[in-house]
């Protein structure tokens, strides 16, 4: 009787879980990976981008002579500026699953302090702006301390500040009065444009820097054997951004003055201001340990605490950032309106900003979202307001449409979260 001494063939090695890394290095693999993310409920800013494209197409088709005109595009950009800045500040608060109902009036108080420093105390614009932003930061610190240290729910604390700061604004400015802003530099933020040549130089420099950084990042990832997308996709993103920036700059470089003999051309100064703030905040929340801690706490506070993260400090800091950004937003609004009134930052200011962040893709449940989402959402809000205004629609129509869009965005967020729970992503 013979014995079979043949050595059994080894079992196939278990998949270590990096098969996705391999397929992501090809264009087809990257596309499939992105499709898998969407099916898993991680839609990001895709709904907002598609919605913005649809709005632009619809309004351009209905009002071809006015909506896509260079003059209206410039006006739309200025309209979106303050909303985008305030919404960017709210993103880190929303990442923690909190809310700041006082952000709008915080910006109003900060802009009032800035205007008083300019008009009544003869301060230079840099000093006045710093004082205004510090005012916002102090308000945010107080809110954060009450939320994180005292343990009062953010909704209650910020609602109290929303009411109280309106009283502060009324005391600072006076009933029925306003503080005029006459400083040329402040007024230029929303009412003046960059030189056309300077605008093109800035656009080209921005494209080149983005391209170099993107290629450098890809090179480092390849060299270190890290997960990386295909080079063709990196180049496509660079080209896509370049085309967008060039088209935007070209449109705004056209003379859009309504009267003959008057030249009105160039990119509004509010645009580079928003872009700089976007770059700074994006770096902070995507490239620093602080940013990673914010996302970790937003995903699971208790897990973050057990990992050694100072959760209370993180919560205090995001409210300080929100109110500081609200101060800048308030100054932009004061620049556009040439002054500050007692109701500055009240009304729909906060609602539009929160709507912008949520419409852009920031989750109300915390842990998901990017600063750039707020900019996309801000343009969606401004486009709705601008387009319906050109159509001669009354205010109630704007409110209804904006509310419906926000409800749709919140529904997408809730459904996406449910889908992620089901798929375990």
Please check the confidence at residue 14 and state whether its pLDDT lies above 60.
Answer: no
Which residues are 193's β-sheet partners? 268
Q: Could you identify the residue written with the tokens 């230029």? A: 188
Q: What is the average per-residue pLDDT within 12-31?
A: 54
Q: Average pLDDT over the chain, rounded to whole?
A: 86
Helix (H) or strand (E) holding 339, with range, is: strand 339-340
- Smallest CA-to-CA distance from 73 within 244, 251, 196 is with 251
Tell me yes or no: is domain 45-192+268-417 CATH 1.10.3470: yes
Please check the confidence at residue 17 and state whether its pLDDT lies above 60.
Answer: no
Q: Higher confidence at residue 398 or residue 422? A: 398
- Smallest CA-to-CA distance from 89 within 334, 278, 336, 272 is with 278
Q: In the structure encoding, which two tokens stand for residue 394, read together?
A: 């009354």
Q: What is the average per-residue pLDDT within 299-325?
A: 93
Burial profile 10-29: b = 16 or more Cβ within 10 angstroms, e = fewer: eeeeeeeeeeeeeebbeeeb
Q: What is the average per-residue pLDDT within 340-344?
A: 88
Q: What is the dihedral of CA 372, 330, 125, 177, to 10 degrees?
A: 170
Please check the confidence at residue 385 and state whether its pLDDT lies above 80.
Answer: yes
Q: What is the average per-residue pLDDT within 262-288?
A: 92
* Predicted local confidence at residue 349, as pLDDT: 79
Measured from the Cβ of residue 6, the count of other Cβ atoms closer than 10 Å reads 6
* Predicted local confidence at residue 275, as pLDDT: 94
* Predicted local confidence at residue 409, as pLDDT: 75
- Smallest CA-to-CA distance from 350 within 22, 20, 6, 101 is with 101
The model's pLDDT over 146-158, given as tens digits with 9 standing for 90+, comes to 999 999 999 999 9
* Predicted local confidence at residue 398, as pLDDT: 79
Which string of DSSP letters, residue by residue, matches 275-329? HHHHHHHHHHHHHSHHHHHHHHHHH-HHHHHHTT--HHHHHHHHHHHHHHHHHHH
Residue pair 413/365 in contact (Cβ under 8 Å)? The answer is yes
Please check the confidence at residue 3 and state whether its pLDDT lies above 60.
Answer: no
User: CB-side exposure of 40: number of CA atoms within 13 Å?
Assistant: 11
Lowest mean pLDDT among 65-79, 348-362, 381-395: 348-362
* Predicted local confidence at residue 98, as pLDDT: 92
Q: What is the dihedral of CA 137, 138, 144, 150, to 10 degrees?
A: 170
* Predicted local confidence at residue 263, as pLDDT: 78
Alpha helices in 224-288 (DSSP H): 231-252, 270-287
3-class state of residue 410 by DSSP? helix
- Measured between alpha carbons, how far is 92 from 148 in angstroms, rounded to an integer? 15
- Measured between alpha carbons, how far is 257 from 143 in angstroms, rounded to an integer? 45
Cβ neighbours of residue 85 under 8 Å, at least 6 residues apart? Answer: 273, 274, 277, 325, 328, 329, 332
Report how far Cα 79 is from the mean position of its chain's Cα atoms: 14
Residue 259: left (phi > 0), alpha (psi -120 to 50), or beta?
beta
Kindly indicate the confidence band of residue 19, based on its pLDDT and cuts at 50, 70 and 90.
Answer: very low
* Predicted local confidence at residue 323, as pLDDT: 95
- Percentage of the chain lying above the pLDDT 90 cut: 55
Q: What is the CA radius of gyration of the chain?
A: 24
Residue pair 380/408 in contact (Cβ under 8 Å)? The answer is no
Q: In the structure encoding, which two tokens stand for residue 20, read together?
A: 């996705």
The model's pLDDT over 189-212, given as tens digits with 9 standing for 90+, comes to 999 999 999 999 999 999 999 999
* Predicted local confidence at residue 278, as pLDDT: 94
Helix (H) or strand (E) holding 179, with range, is: strand 179-180
* Predicted local confidence at residue 9, as pLDDT: 44
- Smallest CA-to-CA distance from 169 within 101, 114, 99 is with 114
The model's pLDDT over 84-138, given as tens digits with 9 standing for 90+, comes to 999 999 999 999 989 999 999 999 999 999 999 998 888 999 999 999 999 999 9
The model's pLDDT over 280-308, given as tens digits with 9 standing for 90+, comes to 999 999 889 999 999 999 988 889 899 99
CA dihedral over 129, 136, 383, 48, signed as positive or negative = positive
3-class state of residue 64 by DSSP? coil
Helix (H) or strand (E) holding 355, with range, is: helix 349-360
- Percentage of the chain lying above the pLDDT 70 cut: 91
């Amino acid at each position: 009787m013979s014995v079979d001494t043949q050595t059994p063939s080894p079992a196939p090695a278990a998949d270590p879980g990096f098969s996705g890394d391999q397929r992501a290095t090809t264009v087809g693999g990257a596309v499939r990976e992105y499709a898998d993310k969407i099916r898993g409920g991680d839609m990001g800013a895709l709904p907002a981008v598609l919605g913005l494209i649809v709005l632009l197409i619809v309004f351009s088709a209905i009002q071809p002579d006015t909506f896509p005109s260079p003059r209206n595009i410039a006006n739309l950009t200025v309209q979106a500026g303050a909303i985008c800045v305030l919404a960017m500040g709210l993103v880190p608060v929303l990442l923690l699953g909190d809310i700041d109902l006082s952000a709008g009036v915080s910006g109003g108080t900060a802009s009032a302090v800035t205007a008083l420093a300019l008009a009544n105390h003869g301060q230079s614009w840099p000093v006045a702006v710093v004082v205004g932003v510090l005012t916002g930061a102090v308000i945010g610190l107080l809110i954060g301390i009450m939320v994180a240290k005292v343990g009062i729910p953010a909704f209650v604390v910020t609602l109290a500040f929303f009411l109280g700061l309106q009283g502060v604004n009324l005391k600072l400015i006076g009933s029925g009065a306003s503080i005029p802003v006459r400083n040329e530099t402040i007024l230029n933020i929303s009412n003046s444009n960059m030189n056309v040549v300077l605008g093109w130089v800035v656009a080209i420099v921005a494209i080149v820097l983005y391209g170099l950084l993107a290629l450098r990042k890809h090179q480092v990832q390849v060299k270190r054997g890290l997960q990386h997308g295909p080079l063709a996709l990196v180049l496509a993103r660079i080209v896509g951004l370049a085309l967008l920036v060039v088209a935007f700059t070209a449109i705004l470089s056209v003379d859009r003055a309504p009267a003959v003999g008057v030249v009105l051309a160039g990119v509004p100064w509010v645009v580079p201001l928003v872009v700089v703030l976007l770059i700074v905040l994006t770096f902070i929340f995507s490239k620093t340990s602080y940013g990673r801690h914010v996302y970790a706490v937003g995903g699971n506070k208790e897990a973050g605490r057990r990992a050694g993260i100072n959760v209370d400090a993180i919560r205090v800091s995001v409210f300080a950032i929100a109110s500081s950004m609200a101060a800048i937003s308030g100054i932009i609004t004061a620049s556009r309106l040439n002054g500050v009134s007692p109701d500055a930052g009240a009304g729909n200011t906060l609602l539009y900003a929160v709507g912008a962040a949520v419409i852009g893709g920031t989750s109300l449940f915390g842990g998901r979202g990017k600063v750039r989402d707020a900019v996309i959402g801000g343009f969606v809000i401004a486009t709705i307001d601008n387009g319906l205004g050109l159509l001669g629609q009354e205010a109630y129509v704007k409110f209804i449409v904006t509310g419906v869009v926000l409800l749709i965005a919140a529904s997408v967020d809730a459904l996406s979260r449910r889908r992620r729970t089901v798929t375990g992503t």
